[in-house]
Amino acid sequence: MEHRRHKPAGFRQHAPRPKASAMVIGRQPVVEAIQAGKAIERIYLLRTASGDIIPQIRSLAAQYNIPINLVPTEKLNGLTQANHQGCIAITGHISYLDLQDVISHVTDSGETPLFLILDGITDVRNIGAIARSAVCCGAQAIIIPDKGIAALNEEAIKSSAGALEKISICRVNSLLKAIDTLHLNGIKVVASEMEAEVKLYDLPLNEPVAVIMGSEDKGVFPALLKATDVQFRIPMSGNFESFNVSVAAGIILYEAMKQRGF
């Protein structure tokens, strides 16, 4: 993907420790929180956990598309000193929606779908900035994978100036399956690529479209690129490496808004 920037050697991004108020601790409390409709960002489950309630936790997580991280005891003990019973859920501020439901709602409302797909973006500030541009430019939804992306936590919401709470967020367990769903609904999927021949302003963005934005160091995952309908590039002046991913998203979204005559 054209907006690439390599991180210094040895760089590792550490997720901040969740606040105590954001944790649901214990097996039964986690089940009850999910059943009550509480927004759950992720479940940390002991790798060796067993017992009658564990299949129920897994089933509920699958039903509500909540990622489960299988972890050692040390990870759970590092999160809390309480009796966690091998299970801790992290609550979030975002309620995730079903992709097909969002597509149906947008089309039934007479709008032309303009969605974003985020692939491997791990900086919450970039996600926040992308969400802000998405809302400002009329996009209706952001599609994210359940793994390999920054948590949509308080910092992300703050970076988005609250935009993450104003746009539909669809969390899926496979971006390839999400692309299949988009195609079945007549929505084209496009992605920027440095060597692409099509220029952004020649791309018909007034049609139903979903734009993939990839990570700055790795770009869009090759299998996702193969599944796209069109690859395009953002013309740049000079030979500088690339745009920041959130800036690139803003440029693309603004071009879409311009073509749609907002």
pLDDT above 50: residue 233: yes
The CA distance from 210 to 246, in Å, is 16
Spatial distance between the Cα atoms of 5 and 99, rounded to a whole number of angstroms: 30
Of 91, 119, 138, the residue that ends a domain is 91
Confidence of residue 142 (pLDDT cuts 50, 70, 90): very high
Mean pLDDT of 245-260: 96
Q: Which of 50-59, 128-137, 214-223 has the lowest mean pLDDT?
A: 214-223
Same-domain status, 59 and 162: no
At 58 the pLDDT is: 96
The token pair that represents 89 in the structure block: 């859920």
pLDDT at 229: 97
Same domain for 84 and 134, yes or no, is: no
240 & 117 share domain: yes
Which residues constitute the domain of residue 124? 99-259
Residues 172 and 48 in one domain: no
- Are both 117 and 25 inside the same structural domain? no
Based on C-alpha coordinates, what's the Rg of the chain? Answer: 19
| Same-domain status, 86 and 104 | no
**Which pairing describes strands 168-172 and 141-145: parallel, antiparallel, or unpaired?**
parallel
Q: Check whether residue 81 and residue 211 sit in a common domain.
A: no
- Confidence class for position 131, pLDDT limits 50, 70, 90: very high
Q: Is the pLDDT assigned to residue 204 strictly greater than 90? A: yes
Number of domains in the chain: 2
**Which are the contacts of 59, defined by CB distance < 8 A and separation ≥ 6?**
none
Domain-embedded: residue 173: yes
* pLDDT range class, residue 105, cuts 50, 70, 90: very high
> Are residues 205 and 242 both part of a single domain?
yes
In a domain, 70, yes or no: yes
CATH number at residue 54: 3.30.1330.30
Q: Is the pLDDT of residue 27 over 70?
A: yes
25 and 108 co-located in one domain: no
Beta bridge partners, 113, equal none
In sequence order, what are the residues at sequence separation of 6 or more whose Cβ sits closer than 8 angstroms to the Cβ of residue 141? Answer: 97, 99, 102, 106, 113, 115, 116, 167, 168, 169, 170
Q: How far apart are CA 35 and CA 44, in angstroms?
A: 17
Residue 207 shares a structural domain with residue 111:
yes
C-alpha count within 13 angstroms, C-beta hemisphere, residue 129: 15
Cα–Cα dist 43/24, whole Å: 9
Mean pLDDT, rounded, for 217-238: 90
Rounded Cα distance between 181 and 100, Å, is 7
Q: How many residues does the chain have?
A: 262
* Reported confidence tier of residue 5, pLDDT bands at 50, 70, 90: very low
Q: What percent of the chain has pLDDT over 90?
A: 69
Give the domain-ending residue among 70, 91, 112.
91
Do both 84 and 104 map to the same domain?
no
Residues 162 and 200 in one domain: yes
